[in-house]
Structure 1
């Protein structure tokens, strides 16, 4: 046999395989990206609509969806549902200003919290004597060395 690579799996003149794409780029590359794009679009839309909510209502309401010509919001109690309905005209105007053709605001009430609580801090464990001594030695090694007052002139 000659020195050619006739046994390789790639045809002669073919290119190397493309390097792997970054994760986010790979997610958006095929048809599976539609839900991701929609979620990002809805999040951006919420950021545009949130300033149009009355300040007292903003903590109790969350933009959820666009369903045809309806803006869907979720609130955490019936009282806020009534207040959001009073703000519907301003929200519809804001939605129209960003290009949506909305004609109705739908408000749903949930028993779940709209904003999840941050995770509770983990309790710290007591340090063993060996760990404490190792930490003190490490901290001491970071301190600049002391100079003698006599050595300076």
Structure 2
């Protein structure tokens, strides 16, 4: 549960750095090597999220206090987000 809470906290901080129309459609799922994995609820948001890559990576480097992520992978989860993401935001 602690890990889910941490992911929700990071997601909330990242959302605050994004344009309002995009903020409610971005969730941080973790790092996979040098890649930050971002979840979204529709393929319509993928291009806009990728356009915000530099901003998201900069925010992550401040949040994680280590610039471990150098790129973003966007995964679409149209069936719904993992349990807890929406309730912990």
Please indicate the TM-score interval, normalised by the length of the shorter structure: 0.7 to 0.9
Whole-Å separation in 2 of the counterparts to 1:73 and 1:105: 7
The aligned counterpart of 2:42 is: 77
Q: Which runs of 5+ in 2 are unaligned?
A: none
Q: Which runs of 5+ in 1 are unaligned?
A: 1-35, 117-153
Structure ranking higher in strand proportion = 2
Check conservation: 1:54, 1:87, Cα contact below 8 A.
Answer: no
Match 2:70 to one of 103, 107, 128 = 103
Check conservation: 1:75, 1:109, Cα contact below 8 A.
Answer: yes
Residues matched between the structures, number: 81
TM-score when scaled to structure 2?
0.74
Say yes or no: does 1:92 pair with 2:57.
yes
Q: CA RMSD in A?
A: 2.0
1:4-19 maps to which residues of 2 (within 5 A)? none
Q: What is the CA distance between 1:54 and its match in structure 2? A: 1.7
TM-score when scaled to structure 1?
0.47
Q: Secondary structure at the match of 1:80?
A: helix
Say yes or no: does 1:66 pair with 2:31.
yes
The aligned counterpart of 1:113 is: 80
Stretches (4+) displaced over 6 A: none
Question: Deviation digits for residues 3-36 of structure 1, max 9, x if unmatched?
Answer: xxxxxxxxxxxxxxxxxxxxxxxxxxxxxxxxx3
Larger radius of gyration: 1
Check conservation: 1:73, 1:105, Cα contact below 8 A.
Answer: yes
Check conservation: 1:50, 1:58, Cα contact below 8 A.
Answer: yes
